[in-house]
């Protein structure tokens, strides 16, 4: 059996009791570690589980999945995924390959940022499609998120923006020379995301949102140190020191927002007067 086990959002104790049982009895345990991260290291997981864990990078999962699935017709293999196995990304290919090999698959669900973001006080019913934001390069500024946000906003809905993480990246020079030396990991902050969003709006000038659009920055959702900052995109460009360390996410508010959402999130406002004023001007229900 292949078990896809969600680890939740924060630390080693966020695994479910059922998930922990699977990990303890599996023949081999893999940790998918390139689409998201826990706030604790692999070594903490290993000592908590009392067994070794193989870190599976993108290359291994995409090109060497048969090694992960080896003998899983008769043995139990646990494939651990931060968040929910079908959350921010899916491992559809791995399951399709398992099916081809006649390997049964079972999922152990867990918290995902896609539902955890409800801790902002924004109603999950009012969210449209989720988008991703990648680190811009000088000559590469993918902006497909802009059209998706337009679609969501056209029907009044919030947009969850998931922020890029870069782990195990090589510099161009190291890549060219074939040196397996990796850069330190980088995690996009709410400030960087808000900045990039405003850059694209300035470029496109289609008024999908602007510096005074309301948003909520979220850090370490679901952990004991989770932190939120609510304000305009302009304010959020400068709020990283309040949010603290990774992982960050951002929600751009839709205009169909409800008073209860306003009142709940006001607690997190960087400037409560500004929050009240912008809300009254642009987000009161029709």
Are 45 and 12 in contact by the 8 Å Cβ rule? The answer is: yes
Which of 40, 55, 107, 274 touches a copy of itself (CB under 8 A)? 107
Question: Residue 116 or residue 191: which is nearer to a copy of itself going by CB?
Answer: 116
Question: Residue 52 or residue 104: which is nearer to a copy of itself going by CB?
Answer: 104
Only one of the segments 2-10, 39-47, 210-218, 277-285 lies at the binding site for a copy of itself (rule: CB under 8 A); that segment is: 2-10
Q: State phi, psi for 150 to the nearest 5 degrees.
A: -60, -45
Longest dimension (CA), the chain: 62
CA distances from 105 to 92, 108, 253, 282 (A): 11, 10, 38, 48
CB of residue 49 to a copy of itself, shortest distance in Å: 11
Are 214 and 232 in contact by the 8 Å Cβ rule? The answer is: yes
Is 101 a binding residue for a copy of itself by CB under 8 A? The answer is: no
Are 247 and 36 in contact by the 8 Å Cβ rule? The answer is: yes
CB of residue 97 to a copy of itself, shortest distance in Å: 12
Concatenated DSSP letters of 223-282 = STT-EEEEEEHHHHTT-HHHH-SS-EEEEEPPTT--HHHHHHHHTTBSSHHHHHHHHHHH
CB of residue 119 to a copy of itself, shortest distance in Å: 6
Are 112 and 83 in contact by the 8 Å Cβ rule? The answer is: yes
Is 252 a binding residue for a copy of itself by CB under 8 A? The answer is: no
Is 118 a binding residue for a copy of itself by CB under 8 A? The answer is: yes
CB of residue 112 to a copy of itself, shortest distance in Å: 4
Question: Which residue reads 């922020």 in tokens?
Answer: 163
Which of 101, 124, 175, 181 touches a copy of itself (CB under 8 A)? 124
Is 29 a binding residue for a copy of itself by CB under 8 A? The answer is: no
User: Residues 156 to 215: which contact a copy of itself by CB under 8 A?
Assistant: 157
Is 276 a binding residue for a copy of itself by CB under 8 A? The answer is: no
* Residues in contact with 90: Cβ distance below 8 Å, sequence separation at least 6, in sequence order: none
Are 251 and 278 in contact by the 8 Å Cβ rule? The answer is: no
Are 81 and 104 in contact by the 8 Å Cβ rule? The answer is: no
Which of 30, 103, 128, 219 touches a copy of itself (CB under 8 A)? 128
Site string for a copy of itself, 79-98 (x = CB under 8 A): ----xxxxxx-x-xx-xx--
Interface residues with a copy of itself (CB under 8 A)?
A: 6, 8-9, 11-18, 20-21, 83-88, 90, 92-93, 95-96, 99, 106-112, 114-119, 121, 123-132, 151, 154-155, 157, 221-222, 224, 226, 260, 263-264, 267
């Amino acid at each position: 059996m292949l078990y896809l086990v969600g680890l939740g959002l924060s630390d080693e104790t966020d695994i479910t009791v059922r998930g922990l049982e699977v990990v303890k009895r599996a023949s081999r345990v893999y940790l998918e570690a390139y689409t998201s991260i826990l706030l604790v290291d692999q070594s903490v997981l290993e000592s908590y589980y009392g067994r070794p864990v193989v870190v599976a990078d993108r290359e291994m999962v995409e090109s060497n999945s048969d090694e992960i699935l080896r003998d899983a017709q008769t043995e139990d293999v646990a494939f651990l995924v931060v968040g929910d196995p079908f959350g921010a990304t899916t491992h559809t290919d791995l399951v399709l390959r398992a099916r081809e090999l006649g390997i049964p698959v079972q999922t152990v669900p867990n918290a995902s940022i896609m539902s955890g973001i409800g801790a902002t006080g924004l109603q999950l019913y009012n969210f449209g499609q989720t988008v991703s934001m990648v680190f811009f390069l000088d000559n590469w500024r993918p902006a497909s998120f802009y059209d998706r946000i337009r679609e969501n906003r056209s029907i009044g809905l919030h947009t969850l923006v998931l922020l890029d993480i870069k782990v195990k990246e090589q510099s161009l020079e190291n890549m060219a020379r074939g040196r397996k030396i990796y850069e330190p990991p980088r995690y996009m902050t709410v400030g960087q995301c808000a900045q990039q969003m405003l850059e694209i709006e300035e470029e496109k000038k289609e008024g999908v949102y602007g510096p005074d659009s309301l948003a909520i920055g979220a850090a370490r959702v679901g952990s004991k140190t989770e932190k939120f900052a609510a304000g305009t995109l302009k304010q959020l460009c400068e709020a990283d020191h309040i949010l603290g360390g990774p992982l960050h996410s951002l929600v751009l508010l839709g205009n169909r927002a409800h008073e209860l959402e306003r009142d709940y999130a006001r607690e997190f406002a960087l400037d409560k007067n500004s929050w009240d004023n912008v809300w009254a001007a642009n987000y009161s229900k029709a």
